[in-house]
Chain A
Amino acid sequence: MAAGVRKVTHPMTPEQCARTASAIAAEIGKVIVGQRALVDDVLHCLLAEGHILLEGVPGLGKTMLLKTLAETLSLPWSRIQFTPDLMPADIVGTQILTQGEDGSRELRFRPGPITANLVLADEVNRATPKTQAAMLEAMQERAVTVAGETRPLPRPFLVLATQNPVEMEGTYPLPEAQLDRFLLKALVPFPSADELVTVIERTTGAVTPSPDPVCDADTLRAMVALTREVPVPDHVVRHAVDLVVATHPDQGAAPDPVRRYVRFGASPRGVQALILCGKARAVLAGRPSVSIDDVRASAPAALRHRLVVGYEATADGTSADDVVAAVLGAVPEPTSGVRGAP
């Protein structure tokens, strides 16, 4: 283990967790220029034990992000390039017939690339639904079943899937039920000109920056456990519920864009995602409890892929993010209720 690794045994304190997370982000920042929101979303998923779907054009550093994260966390990682001919066994692993030195033959399980702490599922929408389903089942169950035998996947386990929003030819868009299994969906924006200059400077020189490991699997598991323990006030939970309820067009609290463009609102997983991301945000901020701000800040990434918008939205140029913004506007942060007071 490298000298910079913060070895913390459970239980760890929120302050330690915040410091470690900051160190992780700082190391990632050595390699990844900008994209701070994306890095934060990845960390949130890491602490909340969720998976993240990245949507962005190729070349924005998605693979580099996962590789850097793995090096920072000292965790094994794998990359799966999804193609139409990719089979489920190519992901989860398969049994192969092996012959021993004594000539005996036996079936041995050879793990697939999914058996890693960090998995990059690149262009996940290019695989067939069958293959997608196999991987998403592994994501949900955190285990693979081959030949009737279930094998747990290592913990922590983070799948970072990507999809290209531009090239739709020959793709198989992920069904809504499977999209729901991603804790967050992050948009990878094109870097600014200044950031791009920095990227060029870092990647075209003689020396390529590399991160130092600042964490290990045990510490990360302690951080995950701590995140789960963060208390959530009742009114924060209530606000998360109100936000999700407002995404349903048949609910009275739904704003007009929801009624016009949304066919199906977010599932209860949406509320779970809001709360878990809120906890992760609170931990990363060094706070001992979740606030409404944490929930609202998590809403776009946690809800945008859970809304099933109709073709009217596309025709009108309204995105899922616009709908989520409308929901946030329709369900404002609760006030004290005292006239004149905040």
Chain B
Amino acid sequence: MRRFLARLRRRLRLVWAWATTAWVAPGVVAAALAVVALGRVVPWGWPEPLAAALVVAALLVVVIAAAIQRLPLPVVARAADRGLATHDSFAAALQFERLEGSFGERIATRAESLAAGADPATAAPFRPYGRRWLVAAVLAVGAVGLAVAPNPQDGIRAERAETRALLDALAEQLTEEAEALAEELPDGAEDPAVAELLAAAEELRQADDLEAAQEALAEAQDALDARRSDNLAAQQAAAQGLERSLAQRPIAEAGESAAEQLAAAAEELDGLTAEEQEALAERLADLAATQELGSPEVAAALAEAAEALASGDVPGAQAALGEAAQAQGAANAAVDGQLNLDQAAAALAEAQAAAEGSGQGAGEGQGEGSGDGQGQGDGDGQGAGQGQGQGAGQGQGGDGAQGEVGGAQGGTGEGRGGVGTPGGTDQPRIDTNDDQRATVVDTAEATDETPLGGTPTGDAAEVIGEGDGPTTASLAQVPLSEVVADYTRRATEAADAQQLPADQQELVGDYFDLLSQ
């Protein structure tokens, strides 16, 4: 009997699950239908998934409840008695299991005989619940029909999904940018640019629409702009120019960076001869002149060192050189920080552009991404100017080789490179083609090259020439990355050889720095 009751108990769980499902099905499906219908009125993205989840969740709850439901044997026996019409034989058998005497035995025997031929399916059959299932089916058909029918809210939903994806992508992009900046920082160092980028990324993730995202980006951009320096180009040119100059023409035997060399030079002053001190004083004076615009502190220290050295005040020169070393270190750090801010600002600007572009119309794509970096100035100058770009240069020089910068190959000749007076941006022409490779006009390959005088050997007389440089890009183009190093090296050598006017050296340095970037 107990074996039969155990089988019936399993059957009762199924029957309960079936009946409960039939009981809740109309309500659950009606709720799902309501949710789907709501999705046709409001542009929410979750009505259909929620409706499906509602149905699945209800089924899961029913199954779990059926599995864990407690069904004591008396309850099962009662179900068996009613289902099989056994006149409470099973319930009596359970209660009088230990009853002694003839009645106890007869009750047990009767229950066992009834259980022997009994089928749990007969005791607890599945009822059809036709009306409930019919109602549920009708509602389900309605819900599915509404779900698959064209929804006027689909366009709005898609647009919101795209916006969400865009904002997430922008947030991720800003986060990666911030992480890249943070990796370059020394251990434990903090950078406001990193913090601003991370904050902006979080704002984007929290933003509900493009307007909020744009507002957050604008605020972040304003915060970065407040930290940025207006004189970054000059600072960067001065700091990097000094580094490069001292790297190519060291003033001390020890030290790699400019600051280290300045410090080392201070220690080595005592061992220099008078002529060497004089030469060093001149060099320091020249270097000071290059730092006046971008790094006044470095320039002042160098000038002070040069004067002290020229006057024989070695201790004073040493102290001034030490100050110059510290100032150069601080200048480098400031430039790095400003560059980070610039990078962060660029990232934010890019994100803003993307957000605005998206907001102006979905599917329109990105706008014009390549800017015109063409210099539009006319300039008069002396020397062999590279008439690169749109500017028409007039140059005067001797021994300038093929009109290249400063007659770097001019041997003993001295060329004065003509650089256009500020009328443009002094930016090189960088054409961005499809494969994203920057190119620059290689004048050596140009067919219409215009020699301006001078020979590579420098044995010819100085020729003052005048002519127009190549003003348009020809087919002879080479990737910028392949030539910029060589050009930079040659420009630096020309500057170090005092082949460029002191007041123009910084400008030339900036030019090649920008090319390098």
Contacts and interface: CB of A to CB of B under 8 A. Distances in A.
Interface of A: 11, 13-14, 229-231, 233-236, 282, 285, 287-294, 333-342
B93 to A, nearest CB: 8
Interface string B89-109: 101100110010111101100
Contacts of A290: 88
Nearest to B124: A341
Nearest to B77: A336
Nearest to B82: A342
Contact of A338 (B23, B75, B87, B110): B75
A196 B104 CA distance: 45
A341 B71 CA distance: 12
Given A233-B95, A338-B16, A289 B82 contact: no
Contact of B88 (A13, A14, A289, A340): A289
Nearest to B87: A291
Contacts of A340: 15-16, 18-20, 22, 124, 126-127
Contact of B96 (A287, A289, A338): A289
Given A236-B88, A337-B75, A289 B103 contact: yes
Contacts of B83: 341-342
7 contacts: A13-B102, A231-B103, A289-B92, A333-B82, A339-B20, A340-B18, A341-B19
Contacts of A229: 101, 103
Given A11-B102, A287-B110, A341-B15, A336 B87 contact: no
A230 B103 contact: yes
B75 A231 contact: no
Contacts of A234: 95
Nearest to B75: A336
A324 to B, nearest CB: 21
A159 to B, nearest CB: 29
B123 interface: yes
A336 B106 contact: no
Given A233-B92, A336-B76, A336-B82, A288 B103 contact: yes
B79 A336 contact: yes
Contacts of A342: 79, 82-83, 123-124
Given A235-B91, A291-B87, A336 B78 contact: yes
B12 interface: yes
Nearest to A295: B88
Contacts of B12: 336, 338, 341
A323 B127 CA distance: 32
Given A288-B102, A340-B126, 16 more contacts: A11-B102, A229-B101, A233-B91, A233-B92, A282-B87, A285-B87, A289-B92, A289-B107, A290-B88, A291-B81, A292-B88, A333-B82, A336-B12, A338-B12, A338-B15, A340-B16
Contacts of B16: 338-341
A285 B87 CA distance: 11
Nearest to A12: B102
User: Number of contact residues on B: which range applies?
Assistant: 35 or more
Nearest to B125: A342
B88 A338 contact: no
Interface string B408-448: 00000000000000000000000000000000000000000
A290 B127 CA distance: 29
A331 B256 CA distance: 103
Contacts of A231: 92, 96, 99, 103-104, 107
Nearest to A339: B19
B258 to A, nearest CB: 87
Given A233-B95, A291-B88, A338 B79 contact: yes
Contacts of A334: 78
A161 to B, nearest CB: 31
A209 B87 CA distance: 37
A341 B120 CA distance: 11
Nearest to A234: B95
A291 B107 CA distance: 12
Contacts of A339: 15-16, 19-20, 23
Contacts of A293: 87-88
Contacts of B88: 233, 235-236, 289-293
A338 B12 CA distance: 7
Interface string B371-387: 00000000000000000
A243 B76 CA distance: 24
Most chain A beta carbons < 10 A, residue from B88, B126, B127:
B88
A293 B16 CA distance: 25
Interface in B18-69: 18-20, 22-23
Most chain B beta carbons < 10 A, residue from A231, A282, A285, A333:
A231
A333 B91 CA distance: 14
Most chain B beta carbons < 10 A, residue from A234, A236, A293, A342:
A342
A229 B75 CA distance: 26
Contacts of B106: 14, 288
A288 B124 contact: no
A335 B107 contact: no
Nearest to B14: A340
B52 to A, nearest CB: 25
A335 B15 CA distance: 14
Interface in B125-146: 126-127
A323 to B, nearest CB: 26
A288 B110 contact: yes
Contacts of B126: 340
B41 to A, nearest CB: 36
A339 B79 CA distance: 11
Contacts of A333: 82
